[in-house]
Structure 1
Amino acid sequence: MSLNLLRWPLPRYRRDPSRVHHGETGYRNLYPFKQPRLIDLLRWNWERRRLKVEHRLQDIRRVEPDVAALAANRGRPSYTWIGHASGLIQLAGMNLLLDPVWSQRASPMQWAGPKRLSPPAIALDDLPHIDAVMVTHNHYDHLDFLTLQRLVRQSGGSPLFVVPLGVGRTLACAGAPADRIVELDWWQRHRHGEVEMTLTPAQHWSKRWAWGDRNRALWGGFAAKGGGAQLWYPGDTGYHPELFARIAEHLGKVDVALLPIGAYRPRWFLQAQHIDPAEAVEIYRILRPRRALAVHWGTFVLTDEPLHQPPLDLADALSRHGIAPADFSVPAIGETLWLDAGAGGERGDGSN
C-alpha cells in the first residue's frame, strides 16, 4: 500500500448550477436512483455467506498478444483486452489506455480486498509508450493508484490523463504533472494529437473513502475517435433506455462498443448501477455499433455470479434477439481486434 493513501485529499467538488447533474453537495445521475447504503451492503454480505460459488477459470479464454505487432503499429486502429475494464486502444498512431489496473487487488491495500484471478494480458513494462490514459471513475477496479504511479514514470515521460471532474486530485497525488491532467464534464471533449476523447454520461456513483467523498468526483464513459474509427466504453452504469438513446444520437456511428457484461448479481443490489448481459444486449440494440466486445468480467470476483458466467448469460440474450455472436463477441484476454478505418473489424489473436 502506498503511503500516499494516507495523504490523499478529498475530491474538490466544483458545482456549475447550470448543469442539471450538478447537485448541492455532489454530482447526481440524469435518472436518479437510490444509491447503496451501509445497511444494503451489510445485507448483501450476510446473504453472500451462504453462497457456494465455483469459478471455472479454465473457461476464461486467454491468448498471447503479439506485443511486437502492437509496438510497431502506427496506423491501424486496434483494441486489445488486457482484462476487466483495462484495454489498449490504438488510434491515429496513438496508444491509449482505458481504466488501467495492473495491481493484484482492486482495493486501497494489497493485502485485502478483491484479488485478481486472471493476470493482465501484457506486463505494464511491455506496453508500447502510452500517449493518453482515460479513467472512467474512481472505484478501485477502475482507478488503481499504484498503476497510475508507474505510468507517470514511464520511459519517455508521463502520458496525458483524461478523467472526469474531481478525479484529477488523485492523479496529482500519483505524481502526474498538472499540465498532464485534463478533467472533463459530461459531453466535454479533449483532442490529443489526432484523437478526440469525449466523456459520456453513465448511471453510477463515485466513492473512494469510507466517508466524506461520495459523488464529489464525477463518473462516466469514454468515446475515443481518430484515424477513421470510433470506440466507446460506457463505464460502470445501470440501464436506462433514454440515456443510451441520447448517447447514440450524440456519438453517431460507433465502430466498436466495449460493453460490460460482469458484476451484476444480486440484481436487487446492483441493477441500478451495473448492467447485466441482457441489458448490455439492449444497449447494443440501441447503439447499433458495427461490432461489440464483451468486457468487464473474468478478472476480479466483485459480485455473486461465477467468474465464468457472464458469457453464458450473454449467449442466451443474443439468441433471444437473433443477434449473431460474431456481432457481439467475447474476446479472449489478450486478444486484439484489428480494425480497418471506417469498416467494422476482424478478430485476431494479436497478430497483424
Structure 2
Amino acid sequence: MRRIRPASFGAEPAGARLARILKSPNYDPEAGAFRNPVPAGIGPQPGGGSRGEMFRALLRRDGRKPAAPIPVQRPDLSAPPADGLRLTWLGHATVLAEIDGRRVLFDPVFGERCSPFSFAGPRRFHRVPLPLGELGPLDAVVISHDHYDHLDMSTVRELRKAVAPDVLFAVPLGVGAHLERWGVPRDRIAELDWNESTGAAGLTLTATPARHFCGRGIRNKQRTLWASWSVRGPEHRVFHSGDTGYFPGFAEIGADHGPFDAAMVQIGAYSEYWPDIHMTPEEGVRAHLDLRGGVLLPIHWGTFNLAPHRWEEPAERTAAAAAAADVRAAIPRPGEPFEPSAQTLPTTPWWQEIAAPERTPQARGGRKAAAKPSPATEQ
C-alpha cells in the first residue's frame, strides 16, 4: 500500500509508535481515533446548514482574496531582540519565535500550496517573507498537527537537508511517522501526548490540548494527535494554538503553563459549517484571556483561502474584539517582526487598504461568536 501512497500523504503509525498511541489516555479504542477534550463535530452541525450549502458557500468568490498585493516585509533579524523575545509572523500559522537566545519555528509551511499536490489546492496569496535558507539557525521546529496548511513535506525536507539538519522536531503523537518517511531521523523527533514535555537548547516544549482533528490521506485512520503548544524559556513564555475550536481547557493551560508573554492564536478559517474545530476572532480573544496570554498575535489568516468568510474579516474582527476586551494585540504585516514588550505594537490596519470592495451581503459561513465571557475571565 505504501508503494502507491503519495509521499506527501506521509505514513501511518506502526510498530512501537502505534502501540504507544493505543495506550494514550486520549485515544478512544472503540472509535479507533483520538478524542477531543470536548466533543467536536468536523462537518456541518444540526442547525448549521447542510453539506450542499457548505460547498456552495465555499464556491463563492466575493471578497475571498485581497484586491491588491499583500505588503510583505523582509525581516531584518541580524540583531537579537532587545528584551529577549521577538515574534515574526511569516504567514498563516508559521511563526519564528526568538526566545531568550533560542529560535523556534512553529508550523512551517513555505510551499506554494497547502495541498498534497503541486498543481492543485489552495495557493498562497503572498510570497514567503524570508526564504527557508535565510532563516538562520533553529533550535526546534514545533508542529501542531498534520493538516497540509500546518505540515508541509517540501518544507520539512528542505529544513532537514539544507537549513537545520540536526534541529529537533517536536510533534504530537503519530506525526513522527510522516517525518520519518520524509527523511527525519527518529532521534531528532520528540513525539508527545498532551501534557508531556521535552527539552531543546534550554527551552521546555509542552504539548497542550486542542479541539480539532487530523488527517492527510484519503483513508486516514485518525491515529495522529493534534495539539497546542507552550514554550518556556529561562525568562519568557509563549503559546501557539495550532488549530482549535474554543473549549474551557484554555483556562487550565493558562493556569498550568502561563501567564504567557505572548500567545499566537488561531482566528481565521472559521465557519458556521465547522464551528467546533476553528475559533472565530471573538472566540480567539476569549481563549487569549483564558490563557493569560500577554500580547495576542492572531494567526491562521491572510495567506490561504480556506473558508467562506472575506479575506480581511479575521483581522478586522480580531482588532475590534481585542479593543473591546482591552487586550494588547499585534497584527503585523507578513514578515514584520515585533517584540511583545515594546510600548508600540504593529496595529496599523494595513489589510483595509487592499481588501476587495463588498458587493454582496456577507456570505453565509462567516460565523459570529457569542460575546459572553468564559467563567474563567468573568470578574
TM-score, normalised via structure 1 length: 0.87
Residue equivalent to 2:228: 221
1:153 aligns with 2:155: no
User: Which range moved further: 102-111 or 47-56?
Assistant: 47-56
Residue equivalent to 1:281: 285
What is the aligned counterpart of 1:201 among 200, 203, 209? 209
C-alpha change, 1:155 and 1:59, in structure 2 (3 Å) is closer
1:91 aligns with 2:95: no
C-alpha change, 1:75 and 1:190, in structure 2 (3 Å) is farther
Q: 1:337 & 1:295 partners in 2: Cα distance?
A: 14
Q: 1:247 & 1:138 partners in 2: Cα distance?
A: 22
Residue equivalent to 2:57: 47
Q: 1:43 & 1:244 partners in 2: Cα distance?
A: 32
Residue equivalent to 2:364: none
Residue equivalent to 2:259: 253
Residue equivalent to 1:127: 135
What is the aligned counterpart of 2:186 among 158, 178, 182? 178
Residue 156 (structure 1) shift: 5.8
Q: 2:253 & 2:63 partners in 1: Cα distance?
A: 36
Q: Deviations over 1:76-103 (max 9, x none)?
A: 2221111110011112322211000000
Residue equivalent to 1:263: 269
Letter of the aligned partner of 1:127 in structure 2?
A: L
SS in 2 for 1:223: strand
What is the aligned counterpart of 2:75 among 65, 78, 87? 65
What is the aligned counterpart of 1:237 among 227, 233, 244? 244
Q: 2:87 & 2:77 partners in 1: Cα distance?
A: 13
Residue 302 (structure 1) shift: 0.7
C-alpha change, 1:227 and 1:59, in structure 2 (3 Å) is farther
1:164 aligns with 2:187: no
Q: Percent identity?
A: 31
Q: 2:252 & 2:265 partners in 1: Cα distance?
A: 17
Residue equivalent to 2:375: none
CA contact (8 A) 2:40 2:276 kept: yes
C-alpha change, 1:6 and 1:270, in structure 2 (3 Å) is closer
SS in 2 for 1:328: coil
Q: Deviations over 1:157-215 (max 9, x none)?
A: 331111000000111111111110110000100011211100010000001111132x2
Residue 43 (structure 1) shift: 4.5
Residue equivalent to 2:7: 5
Residue equivalent to 1:77: 85
C-alpha change, 1:124 and 1:139, in structure 2 (3 Å) is same
1:21 aligns with 2:26: yes
Q: Structure 1: where are the runs of 5+ without partners?
A: none
Q: Deviations over 1:35-82 (max 9, x none)?
A: 338x9655522333355335225485533311433xx66982221111
Residue 143 (structure 1) shift: 0.2
TM-score, normalised via structure 2 length: 0.81
Instruction: Please provide the CA RMSD for this pair.
Output: 2.6
Q: Structure 2: where are the runs of 5+ without partners?
A: 347-379
SS in 2 for 1:154: helix
Matched positions, count: 334
Q: 2:105 & 2:231 partners in 1: Cα distance?
A: 11
